[in-house]
Structure 1
Amino acid sequence: MTPGVCLSVTLLLSMWATAKCEQLPDGAFQTVCHDRFLMQAVDLSFAGEDHRFEAVDETGMHPVTKENEAQCGYSVSAVPLLGLMLYRAYYFSCHTENKDDKIEVTCESNFMEVSVRSDVACPTGTRRDDWDAVTQTAYASATSDWQVMFQRVGEEPTPMSLDEAHELRYEFLLTDGRLVFRAPYGQPHSFYTEVNGVPVETIHATLFSRQNWVVLMVDLVAACSMDVGSYDDSGYMMWRTPEVLHPSMSGLHETQFNIGINSEPVEPTVAEERGYIVEKDHGTVRISIPYNTEGGYRKSLVSGDLYEVYFFDLYLEQVSLAEDHMDTRLRFRKTLTTPLLPRPVFTENKTVPEERVFTVYLGDVPDDVALVAVHLNGQAFTVPFMNALGHTITKVIHPNNTHGYTLKVSMEDPVIRQQFSKEDGAMQHTLEINYTLTVLPEYEPFYHLASVMAFTDVSPPVFDAVCTESGISFKLDRRPFDYLWEITIGSDLLTSELADQHGYIMSTDSNSLLLEVPLFSHGFKSTEATLKGFFGTFEITMRDPETSEVQSSSVKTCPFSTTELIMCSTDGRLTVVADLSLAMPNGGNPTRTNLRDKYCGPKETDGTRALFSFPLNSCGSTVKLGKEYVTYENEIFFSKKLRALKNPADPINNIDRVTVQCTYPLSGLFRLFSVYKFESDLAGVGRILHSLLSTEGLRSPTMEPTSVTHSPVHTTRRTRRPVSMRPGYQPPAKYIKVSSFLKNLPKKGKLDIWNEVNIKSLFSFNP
């Protein structure tokens, strides 16, 4: 056997001792010193497409290129998920100063490397036959310069110089007491095998040199697990490596494993707390780490829907003790990445129908995802909402690196779709939501759809009403479902035509309806009259459009001041406040006035006015019948003696005669002239007639009437003065419905026949 010195170390995944770090500029750069390498991170947006790294030593600047980075012990990689460009310079990289060398073996992401001290003895695991064959070749071709042979099974090794090896991207580094060999993955002299079902890449190099009669030989074997890792449904990322990657390691025993993340080992208790698992199974070491482990990274991605990936740098150190009590440290660093994992956001309907506001929560939104727009029933709104009265959106921050958004939309907002459900007897409110979210920093959009519905009880519209000097003003704030009811005055549908007909002032738009009702217009009711004033009431009713049934009403009663007033009620009562200043003799007193019946005096008086209130069929009232109307009439008198004192020459004609009248349409009277009951569809139209003032028509308490809603009264031509009825007299016909009675009369002479048949019994008396 040819004499020589043999050094043999197997190369595996590993890092080295402390690197030397110099302070680098702040800004877009971040520099971190790890236990086995120096790392620089550069923002991708800053790096641009023409970025490059350079190593600097005492000899100058040396570019780090794709061709030499693995050969020189550098690693340059873009990590779009983090938006970073990462640069690593390892302990024995080119142009790196190092001290206190130790025995180390590593398999990096893009290269394999082994370093060995010169005093390490020959390993006992080397097969003698293989060693003898290599030794003979090396001895025969050895020179004083160092040479290298790469061994592959079934191939004859060929020696080459270190310069030739360097051209093939192999790197040999000689330091004080240490030899370093580095090779990128996939070199022509490496080969693949499968150990216990795990793929392994191996490169075997023998370095030799002749020193006089002695040949120095170093046998270097690098073997790395090429397992890419896997993900299981339990939420663990797993990675495997054979416990013995190459036969030269078969003599190692008492193996210990240290595990960590991002090139930093952690204490066994910490590893256990974080859920790290190291298992041995038939010569295979399996590492399991939770996919979302502390120290890892997460990134959102869009592939139709929202997904996420988790990745981290696995660190595993395998320390084995050989028979010669020399330990071998195998350090593995492997970047593990999960597959695309669904990352659904969710919506929760928190609506309380009684609040009449949709409240929808969008939750579990990752930190790198932002909400940029919302479509509400097809209408687009950017986030944050600007000048939005009916809807708001609020961001909610959570401590688990997620956030959410609370959307509130009023059910009265025009964007809400509403439909009345007869089956449920309620209003159905529907809101379709399309959230537009974007993943940062790429601004890649995706969409999340949600639909919410609520049912609310519906109520008829209600008017707000205020009293004015000239009447009553009603206002309705429209709601989308107000169309479910008809708005009526009495039994008549409120329309612009009806308003014009009755003198109402109506204005309307999509948001509100305003109706101003003047005093004494159609439907205006006056009650509780006194000399100080009276109360006026107007009612607006809401009806079911199908059944015409009244569902609700808006009623307003207001006080009004008065000078003169006359009211003709539907139940046959005349109430009048009359100014008697022109009718009173000198020193006259309104308390001494009366109606045609001297026993019917005033209810209330002041210095010039008197209030009378009496049934139409009493106090000497007379009745005048026209073709369409019937008129009740009475007068207010002072005693004849007082009138004569005022003007003896003409005691009657020169004194104001105050006449009061109530006129009703015949078509609206149900029971006419009954001593028991008087019924009319409508209130009568009243007049106060002052003979000296030649005034006809109603004197309004605050203004002149705007219109007369009934045709003028036409009295009959009969001039026969009615005859007073004795008290207790009962007419022969008590309840006669005029409209139906007249329909049954002969066409010719209807009115004459009516007068002839009933005038004596019904009209020729003071009811």
Structure 2
Amino acid sequence: MFESGRVQCRDKTAGDGAVGQSVTSPQSCSVVGCAGCSVPSANSDWIPTGFFLFVWLQSDYNMARFGNILLWSLMAAVILSVDTRPNMKLNTQSSSGLRSDCVGNLMRLSLDKALAVGNELEVQAVNGTQHIVLTPRSAAQCGYSMESDPWGNTRIYSSLLGCYVDNKGDRIFNVGLRLRIYSSQSGVVSHDVAQTCSYTQWASKAILCDRNYMEVSGFIADAGAKGPAQDVKEGNNLPDASGAAHGIWKLTFYTPEPVAMVPREAEQAGYGLMLTSTRLVVRSPYNTAEATSEEVGGVPMEVIRVSAYYQTPHGLNVVNMAAACPTGGVLFINDVISWHVPRRMTPLVDGSFEVLELHMGINGKRLDRSQMVTRGYTLSTTHQHIVIEIPVGSPDGHFKSHAPDYQYHITYSVEPMLEVLWRTTGTQDDTRYKVLFPITTPLMPQLPHFQENTVPEARVFTVVLGTFLHDVVLKNITFSTGVLTVEEGNARGFTIQEHRYKNGTKGYSLSVPFDSDVVLKKNPELLVTTYFLPLAFGFVILPEETPFAHKVELQASLKDVVLPTTTGTCDQKHFYITVKYGSQGNNFQAMVGYRHLNPEMAEEYKFQENGTHFSLVLPYDAADTAFELMKTDSLRARVDLLLLDHINNWVLADLYLSCTFPFTTTTCYPNGTMTATAVKVQSVAQLVPSRLTLKDQSCKPVFSDDRFALFSFSVDSCGTTRTFFDHYILYENEIGLYYNDKKGLYYNRGVANTSPIDPPYRQTISCYYVVNETQTFAVGSKQRLYEPKADISSGQLMVQIRLAQDSSYQLFYQAEDYPVVKYLRQPLYFEVELIESTDPNLELIVEKCWATLDEDRTSVPSWDIIVDGCENPDDIYLTVFHPVVSDSRVLFPSHIKRFSMNMFTFTKDQAVLKDEIYVHCDAVICDTTSRADGLCRGQCVQPTRQSNARPYEQKGAKRTRRGTNSTRQRQISSGPVELTSG
């Protein structure tokens, strides 16, 4: 019913008597002690001098196997004692960090962490002049327990019925302890503590549940008194001296089967036995073989039942005793610890009873009502349970940090006490029941909170991380460049500070400038810089040095980019370019012309750099310049410089520097020889200079490269003309390309010849010669043998398809309007036009049109719209052709065809494949003066035509193209047109 609230620590080598502390998983205890040794009773003369209990706090830390969970252990070891310093006798009011007091039937000694932290503690019981070292086994057997928090604050409890307590008639109790603190720096320091306690509130039976033992004592009657003891009349033999050392003859434990032991056997099993003047005491460690685990009211409990036979002057008496201690019954609900103890202890109570007293305490000491209210504690009863509720975080407990799986967690520990006095109905027998019950909450995840206080304009990252318990220490921070300790970070110019808060927690702050090398940068926009600071804070938990980390990434954006600037000048032969860096230095890629500036280019162009600028010097005819305009005596050249962001390819700066340089194109020689230089300018980018000729196309360049062509010829050759003037003669020729070359050799192979749209190359060259002599020549003529005629050749005619906004065909969608959105079955108005032709004898015929899902005209699936010049008869929504008449825009109606169709979409299994379509057409241009059969008869005028439509077909085959001497075919597309549902 209840979760386990306590796990008892046991010595696996020393048997069942180890000193332990009550903890909650994942904490654990480990004990190394005196294996198999026999602990003396109070009357024994055996004293283990020269040995002591060695106690320290250990972190059983195994990263690989246990996931960095801190295991606190209370360690005990027997080692040789070497006393290097004199004893120091301290009274109970000592201010040196030791405080002792009496808490009911216990003596409590508190040690401040200043004494124990970092040291080794030995506890000895004072028995007159003897000092007995307490081992874990003997501590549980003799009524001693110890509890330490992780920082060394320690409490030692001694039962007033303990082995080595000077008992004065069960009323006055003198308790003595010697503490020996071992330090590697100061040797050994001893503290003697003596405390006298007066306690008279003994009940008929008293049960004490401490962290490492159960104790039950009962009142015994003397020869003339009546009490719970019973006379034994059977003929049992009296025990010998060895068996009656305590006045106790034997014990019978019930498991429930009876198990009999003589005192020596009981002591060897870890039990403590004692007879005082009025009481018989039995003390048992937890988890002995004779103990049983029972559930009482849903609460797990450990129970021991025993009958003790003891000797009196008048014979043997027997006392029946039982102890029951809870091992669970704790619930954790909404930051409240709820501890349930059975109201009716069935192992201890047979009939009805009356509760006389009910008390709550902390650390063994009772609290009054006002103290409970102040702390928020409640003590209540239900039909089955006594319930104590304690808020998590109350001042009587303590928090502890943990880091399982490197994640920050905390636990809260507190040690409540419950004390109950009840009386069995109809008798005078009463029972005082007292439980000290350490509780630790389960691990509670505690995600550190970070608050970013960065002000971008200040150019400093600032973050506060917290909160943490006081046992957490920041050791280092991992940046993008590596790990820095706190000291190294502050030395680098960062600000790392610890902040302590009033509630005892702490936090850490960090400030890092934007300009630090640990800050990463990128530019999401041209003028904006985004700064990133990835961090991993490395913490350790004291005192066990358990590590964990917390990652944080800070980000801030600032419009702080200063772009580079460019300037340029020219002289008679060179371009001079200077670039001034911006705020990001030379973090860019320079392009000169169409090439990225590389080391070879930098050397050729005399690259110089000084940290804030770089400069280039380019000859006007360098490979990366462009020629814009050539005249007879000059050449205008241009150099383009682009500075590009190498990540986003943004243009950070550009320079287009154009200058005119002296340049001689034609040279006239006295011997009648002319030389001329042709230059490839940017307007004829596809020109191949080697294919230029003079008027006589057999006269080709004597030298050429990719930019120049040099001609040398005499004035009476190569088709040179001459014109006579009064005193000089003008010789003229022309360098150019001629488009009637059937072989198409004048432009680069693989590049479409766009003539006559592209400008032709024509360069006129001339020479003037002064006339100093006149001669007369006879000129004759003869008739031609044949009339000149034109050759059939190829050219280019351009066709376009456009989507009109309505049936008036006055407004059309532009490129930026696509995709055009239409409803299902809304008409689409298309116009196909032959452009840039003024020949009235040409007619445009739309041969076929089809729709596809993609821009690729050969993709599938597809749907025929126009087939063999006519609408697709298999379409339930037929395509409609519209007449075209002359108007202010349409000069030649035969150059235009118009049709409309309804918007549709492709589907498969009733599902829309894609909500947009592309329309493609094949058009034929016909010569109306020489019509042939087939399509050139006119748009859709084939009465015997059979449909070749293939509706919604997977068109994978190539479309065949008709060809006649009187037609030229063009391919055009339009789209996408997107379907909308409204």
Change (3 A) 1:373 1:210: closer
Choose from 332, 341, 345 the match for 1:232: 332
Q: Residue type of the partner of 1:66?
A: P
Residue identity matched to 1:202? I
Out of 393, 397, 402, the position equivalent to 2:496 is 393
1:184 to 285, 291, 308: 285
- Pairing partner for 1:332 from 411, 425, 435: 435
Q: How does 1:69-148 map to 2 (within 5 A)?
A: 69-76=139-146, 79=148, 81-83=150-152, 87-98=156-167, 99=172, 100-102=198-200, 103=202, 104-118=206-220, 135-136=231-232, 140-141=236-237, 146-148=248-250
Q: Do the aligned partners of 1:56 and 1:95 also contact (CA within 8 Å) in 2?
A: yes
Higher relative contact order, structure no. (Cα contacts within 8 Å, ≥ 6 residues apart): 1
Cα distance in 2 for residues equivalent to 1:46 and 1:25 = 23
**What is the match of residue 708 of structure 2?**
none
1:605 corresponds to: none
Change beyond 3 A, Cα 1:498–1:170: closer
Deviation at 1:296, TM superposition (A): 0.8
Give the whole-Å Cα distance in 1 for the aligned partners of 2:765 and 2:92: 118
Structure 1: how far apart are the matches of 2:652 and 2:261?
111
C-alpha displacement of 1:253: 0.5
1:662 maps to which residue?
none
1:62 alignment partner, one of 113, 118, 132? 132
Which residue is equivalent to 2:891? none
Aligned partner of 1:339: which letter? P
Whether 1:456 and 2:558 are equivalent positions in the alignment is yes
Identity %: 22
Aligned positions of 1:243-392 closer than 5 A: 243-245=343-345, 246-248=347-349, 250-304=351-405, 305-322=407-424, 323=426, 328-386=431-489, 391-392=494-495
**What is the aligned partner in structure 2 of residue 735 from structure 1?**
none
Aligned to 1:46: 119
Q: Deviation per CA, 1:570-605, whole angstroms, max 9, x where unpaired? A: 9xxxxxxxxxxxxxxxxxxxxxxxxxxxxxxxxxxx
Residues 213-234 of structure 1: per-residue CA shift (max 9 Å, x gap): xx46352423223323434241
Q: For residue 292 of structure 1, report the CA deviation from its aligned partner.
A: 2.3
Inter-partner Cα distance in structure 1 for 2:452 and 2:436: 47
- CA distance in 1 between partners of 2:108 and 2:361 (Å): 18
In 2, distance between residues paired with 1:216 and 1:547? 106
Kindly tell me: are residues 156 and 360 of structure 1, through their superposed partners in 2, closer, same or farther at Cα, counting changes over 3 Å?
closer
CA–CA distance in 1 between the matches of 2:129 and 2:237?
A: 35
SS of residue matched to 1:67: helix
Contact 2:343 2:383 in 1 (8 A): no
> Aligned equivalents of 1:165 and 1:504: distance in 2?
100
1:324: Cα distance to partner? 5.2
**Deviation of 1:189 (Å):** 4.0
Deviation at 1:505, TM superposition (A): 9.2
Report the CA distance shift for 1:433/1:264 in structure 2 as closer, same or farther (over 3 A).
same
Is contact 1:147–1:159 with CA below 8 Å preserved after alignment?
no
Query: 1:150 Cα deviation (Å)?
Result: 2.0
CA 281–137 in structure 1, closer or farther in 2 if over 3 Å, else same = farther
Q: Output the CA distance in 2 between the equivalents of 1:222 and 1:547.
A: 88
Any idea what SS the aligned residue of 1:450 has? strand
Per the TM alignment, residue 309 of structure 1 is displaced from its structure 2 partner at its CA by 2.0
Q: Distance in 2 between matches of 1:44 and 1:399?
A: 24
Which of 407, 415, 434 is 2:536 aligned to? 434
Q: Within 2, Cα distance between the matches of 1:627 and 1:109?
A: 108
Is this contact kept in 2: 1:258–1:268, CA < 8 A?
A: no
Q: Secondary structure at the match of 2:139?
A: coil
Aligned residue identity for 2:360? I
Cα distance in structure 1, aligned partners of 2:359 and 2:93: 34
Q: Which runs of 5+ in 1 are unaligned?
A: 1-20, 464-473, 517-540, 553-569, 571-624, 629-742, 754-767
Rounded to whole Å, the distance in 2 between the matches of 1:177 and 1:256 is 23
What do residues 162-192 of structure 1 show as CA deviations (whole Å, max 9, x unaligned)? 4554444433333444443323233444444
| Structure 1 Cα separation of the partners of residues 489 and 144 of structure 2 | 52
Give 3-state SS (helix, strand or coil) of 1:384's partner.
Answer: helix
Structure 2 distance, partners of 1:425, 1:235, is 52
- Aligned to 2:373, the other structure's residue is in SS state helix
1:481 to partner: Cα distance: 7.1
Amino acid at match of 1:33: D
Read off the aligned partner of 2:464 and give its amino acid letter. Answer: Y
Structure 1 segment 465-544 matched on structure 2, within 5 A = 479-480=583-584, 483=587, 507-508=610-611, 513=612
CA deviations over 1:336-366 (Å, ceiling 9, x no partner): 1122221221222322333332222211122
Q: Which residue of 1 aligns with 2:29?
A: none
Contact kept, 8 Å, 1:228 with 1:336, in 2: the verdict is: no
Is the 8 Å Cα contact of residues 363 and 404 (structure 1) preserved in structure 2?
A: yes
The 2-side partners of 1:626 and 1:514 are apart by: 30
Quote the Cα distance in structure 2 between the aligned partners of 1:45 and 1:365. 23
Q: Helix, strand or coil: the match of 2:438?
A: strand
* Structure 1 counterpart of 2:323: 223
When residues 383 and 27 of structure 1 are mapped into structure 2, their CA distance, relative to the original with a 3 A threshold, is farther
Match of 1:14 in 2: none
CA pair 745-300 structure 1, distance change in 2 beyond 3 A: same
- How high is the TM-score relative to the length of structure 1? 0.54
CA deviation vs aligned residue, 1:55-103 (integer Å, no higher than 9, x gap): 12324122222332211112256x5734567643332222222404431
Deviation at 1:327, TM superposition (A): 5.2
Q: CA deviation at 1:118?
A: 4.9
Give the 3 Å change call, closer, same or farther, for CA 393–186 of structure 1 in structure 2.
closer
Alignment partner, residue 549 of structure 2:
447
- Indicate the SS of the match to 2:328: coil
Separation of aligned partners in 1, 2:135 and 2:265:
20
In 1, the alpha carbon distance for the partners of 2:339 and 2:541 equals 30
Counterparts of 2:599 and 2:271, CA distance in 1: 98
Contact 1:299 1:368 in 2 (8 A): yes
| CA 185–744 in structure 1, closer or farther in 2 if over 3 Å, else same | closer
Distance (whole Å) between structure 2 residues aligned to residue 278 and residue 385 of structure 1: 53
Amino acid at match of 1:38: R
Distance 1:257 1:59 in 2: 40
Which residue of 1 is the match for residue 107 of structure 2? 37
Cα drift, residue 427 of structure 1: 2.1
| Residues 662-696 of structure 1, C-alpha deviations (whole Å, 9 max, x = no match) | xxxxxxxxxxxxxxxxxxxxxxxxxxxxxxxxxxx
Partner of 1:594: none
- Partner residue, 1:196: 297
Looking at structure 1, the residues matched to 506 and 482 of structure 2 have their Cα atoms a distance apart, in angstroms, of: 25
Give the secondary-structure state (helix, strand or coil) at the position aligned to 2:287.
Answer: coil
Q: Which amino acid aligns with 1:203?
A: R
Q: Using the alignment, how far apart are the partners of 1:486 and 1:224 within structure 2? A: 88
Could you tell me how far apart the structure 2 residues matched to 1:352 and 1:58 are? 72
Structure 2 runs not aligned, ≥5 long? 1-88, 173-197, 566-577, 616-640, 665-760, 771-982
Partner of 1:205: 307
Distance 1:67 1:257 in 2: 32
Question: How big is the alpha-carbon RMSD for the aligned residues of Structure 1 and Structure 2?
Answer: 4.9
Secondary structure at 1:232 match in 2: strand
Cα distance, 1:427–1:154 mapped onto 2, change above 3 Å: closer
From the superposition, tell whether residues 80 and 38 of structure 1 become closer, same or farther in structure 2 (CA, over 3 Å).
closer
Q: Distance between the aligned counterparts of 1:547 and 1:240, measured in 2?
A: 72
User: Any conservation in 2 of the 1:496–1:506 contact (CA below 8 Å)?
Assistant: no
Q: Aligned pair in 2 of structure 1 residues 462, 409: CA closer, same or farther (>3 Å)?
A: farther
Deviates more, 1:229-238 or 1:321-330: 321-330
Q: In the TM superposition, what is the alpha-carbon distance from 1:276 to its structure 2 partner?
A: 2.2
Task: Name the counterpart of 2:506.
Answer: 403
In structure 2, what is the equivalent of residue 174 of structure 1? 275
